[in-house]
Structure 1
Amino acid sequence: MTSSFIRKSGVVFGAFLVTTFIIGVAGALQSPTLSRFLSFEVGADPRLVGAFYSVNALASIIGSYLLAKYSDNRGDRRKIVIFCCLMGLANSLIFAYSRNYYVLITLGVFFAALASAAMPQVFAMAREYAEKSGRNAVAFNSLIRAQLSLAWVIGPPLSFALAINYGFTAMYLCAMSMFIISMIVVTIFLPPVEKRAISSFTATELATANQSIFTNRNVMCLLISTIFMWTANMMYIIDMPIYVEAVLHLSNSLPGSLMGLAAGIEIPIMIIAGYLVPVLGKRNLFFIAIICGILFYVGMILFKDATMLYILQIFNGLFIGIVANIGIIYFQDLLPTRMGIASTLFNNGIICSVILAGIIQGFASQAYGHEVVYWIGLVMVTISLLFCALVKK
């Protein structure tokens, strides 16, 4: 391998890291303050806010899946990422200057749905580039995935700081600038990546990968496992701040500290997990992660003091850090001829879990109290383990 190729490869790798981080920051700027924006700026009542989240989530699932299907068949992923960033730019502009609920839930959601495909396409392109350049695909993905987590450590506090101190228009214009920078980086530094030639796949791989995802037992079991584990995690994120303050009567600053600690643990775990795949295998790592998740929810049920809640974040960080990184690679391995759909399935599984978690947590906590949310989470993670066991090696 020549030194010029190594330099070029390093530039491309850096461009993947920068692109992932900046697109991640753009999303992390918009999502945390959305309910506040709709309530206070637009004047939407709680029912309209809830409807907006549901419509936005469903539109994102559909939009990203359709773009993924197109990209796997005949699309240039680099052009699709640029197109998605352009849609994100249009979405940011609408939210920056419109305060009409119906404009936001139609045009705004339409652009957001198309923009949501950007990240899955980046991960699909990264996997194809890693294979073409001879890199360790899992370790490559781990470092890129860590950038997304880092973006979500920085983005939310920055989002609130901008919205509160400078207003929502400035915040959305800042998100718009992130999409512009992303388009520039992708255009200049990321090369077109040729898809792996069909002739390089075995007949068995082609037959399995090209069958409908709804009849592919491995893919469906992994998707159901993903939805259950992420629903449990999202219920915890929604419920924990209220549970800690209203039920455990601990400090109202504790939830932020717990979430920050978990995020801090997740990032190195993602990177370490990528290097452990050749040793332990993706399936075994998934089992380890889900068992850590089970231990975490058992601990949330049993322990009520702040010290133990801090210690439990080790299990939480291991759980989320591993599945957030290895999950997308697992889907890609099951669908090697359709990297876009594989990456999108993982992403859409998380979106589905957000919808389910909001419904289940709201109903369960109101009807039976906050403690039952963690029992439900424990059951869901256990079911996730069972479905993961059904995925063949």
Structure 2
Amino acid sequence: MLPLGLVFLTSGLSVALVVPFMTLFLDTEVDAGPVRTTVFLVASPVAGVAVAWAIGRVSDRWPVRRQLLIVASVAGVVSTASTAVVRDYWVLLTVAVTAWAVAGSLFPQTFAFARQVLDRGDPKRAALGISALRTVFSVAFVAGPPLAAVLLAAGGFHLVFGAAAVMYAVAAVVALFLLPDVGAPPAPPPADRPGGATAARLVIVLTIAGFVLLQTPLVLGGQTLSLFVATDLGGTVTDAGLLFGLCAALEIPLMLGLGVLSTRMPVRTLILVGAVAGIAYHALAASAHAVWVLVAGQVLNALYISAISALGIPYVQDLMPGRPGHATTMIANTFPMGQILAGPLFGLAQSTGYRLAYVLSFALSVGGLLFLLVARPPSSRRSGTPHPGTSRSR
């Protein structure tokens, strides 16, 4: 697990160095303009979803998961290193929908690798292990953006993307020399095969749809927060930074705490509690008239993010036994799908008022909760410990 933690840390730092400043890079270094920037920001996650889905299916059929981690890490090196020096828009777009897309599969495939390792030990503690690894990724996002800002001031985007390439290279070396081969996952029971029970497939479809609806407010709220604070609440950029930092700081202990609780309570119950916390936070934000209201609400927001981001992975993995790569890819893809949905909603909020973004987020959160309530797994495929709604024992 320690080498896996290092892979999560380095790959998380790579993403955290790049993502917050990508639009600035496209505007100032590439001179992309609004239309081409929008095309880039849409095409990249769409390609990532498609490539990750294909790789996820391959990873569950053949014993190549460690090799896929190496390939994804090398693709990360290629994409970040080339972006460090290339400034032609069309070349960068090509890199984004190829090498960047392959590198994006590193996140779900590492979680799938971790699930196979954890299932060899105590499967009932799988959610705890996944939550701990997800916390490492969150730590990387706490440290990454400030580090990127320092690197940007010191050497520009050449240094930022160069540092990200080094991080991906470390992940490749760790996967090559320190991670074992885990083989192919065990074959799923007949009812869990692609041609199995229609009810089981419907549960998975509704669950993924619910997570997409719950992920969209995470993106929409992040895009809107600083503008909402400045224009509607009379706050400053510093206030917005405080809110982002406070939420990120709260997420880390909450993810670990939820992981511990998952060994004693059904994972499904904890996810539903997190969804309710999201509904409460967005209702609070939509009615807020002072910054301190949002400050107080970050406990709810952090609980919402922690439950959806950390526990959603083992939950969906348990819905698809024997297919950890495909399952993890499906739940990981709910975030870029949320990004795609959030774009036009943010544009609507820009034209009608930023408070509308939180009203829409409230509605999306309610919809996501309803989908999860309807998508009740059969008792034999619950997530958590052996009693209904908890992880399988094997």
- TM-score per shorter chain, which class? over 0.9
The equivalent of 2:391 in structure 1 is: none
Further displaced range: 261-270 or 188-197? 188-197
Aligned-partner residue type, residue 112 of structure 1: W
Map 1:23-42 → 2, pairs under 5 A: 23-42=11-30
1:229/1:315 Cα in 2 relative to 1: closer, same or farther (>3 Å)? same
Further displaced range: 23-32 or 189-198? 189-198
Aligned residue among 366, 375, 388 for 2:359? 375
Cα deviation, residue 306, structure 1: 2.2
1:27/1:391 Cα in 2 relative to 1: closer, same or farther (>3 Å)? same
Cα deviation, residue 307, structure 1: 2.0
Aligned residue among 78, 84, 88 for 1:90? 78
The equivalent of 2:158 in structure 1 is: 169
The equivalent of 2:43 in structure 1 is: 55
Aligned-partner residue type, residue 344 of structure 2: I
Map 1:1-393 → 2, pairs under 5 A: 13-134=1-122, 136-198=125-187, 201-204=188-191, 206-207=192-193, 211=196, 216-366=201-351, 368-393=352-377
The answer as to whether partners of 2:63 and 2:184 remain within 8 angstroms in 1 is: no
Cα deviation, residue 287, structure 1: 1.1
Identical residues among aligned pairs (%): 26
Aligned-partner residue type, residue 66 of structure 2: R
Q: Which runs of 5+ in 1 are unaligned?
A: 1-12
State the TM-score, normalized to the length of structure 2. Answer: 0.92
Number of residue-to-residue matches in the alignment: 376
Aligned-partner residue type, residue 40 of structure 1: T
Distance in 2, matches of 1:150 and 1:211, equals 39
1:92/1:267 Cα in 2 relative to 1: closer, same or farther (>3 Å)? same
Secondary structure of residue in 1 paired with 2:2: helix
1:78/1:121 Cα in 2 relative to 1: closer, same or farther (>3 Å)? same
The answer as to whether partners of 1:214 and 1:220 remain within 8 angstroms in 2 is: no
CA offsets, 1:291-347, max 9 Å, x none?
111110111122222222111000001110111111011110111121111111111
1:276/1:93 Cα in 2 relative to 1: closer, same or farther (>3 Å)? same
Aligned-partner residue type, residue 343 of structure 1: T
1:121/1:66 Cα in 2 relative to 1: closer, same or farther (>3 Å)? same
CA offsets, 1:236-265, max 9 Å, x none?
110110010011111221111101111111
Q: Which runs of 5+ in 2 are unaligned?
A: 378-394
Secondary structure of residue in 1 paired with 2:349: helix
The answer as to whether partners of 1:213 and 1:220 remain within 8 angstroms in 2 is: no
Cα deviation, residue 120, structure 1: 0.4
Aligned-partner residue type, residue 57 of structure 1: P
- CA-based RMSD: 1.7
State the TM-score, normalized to the length of structure 1. Answer: 0.92
Structure 1's consecutive aligned runs of 4 or more residues displaced over 4 angstroms after TM superposition are: 209-215
1:302/1:363 Cα in 2 relative to 1: closer, same or farther (>3 Å)? closer
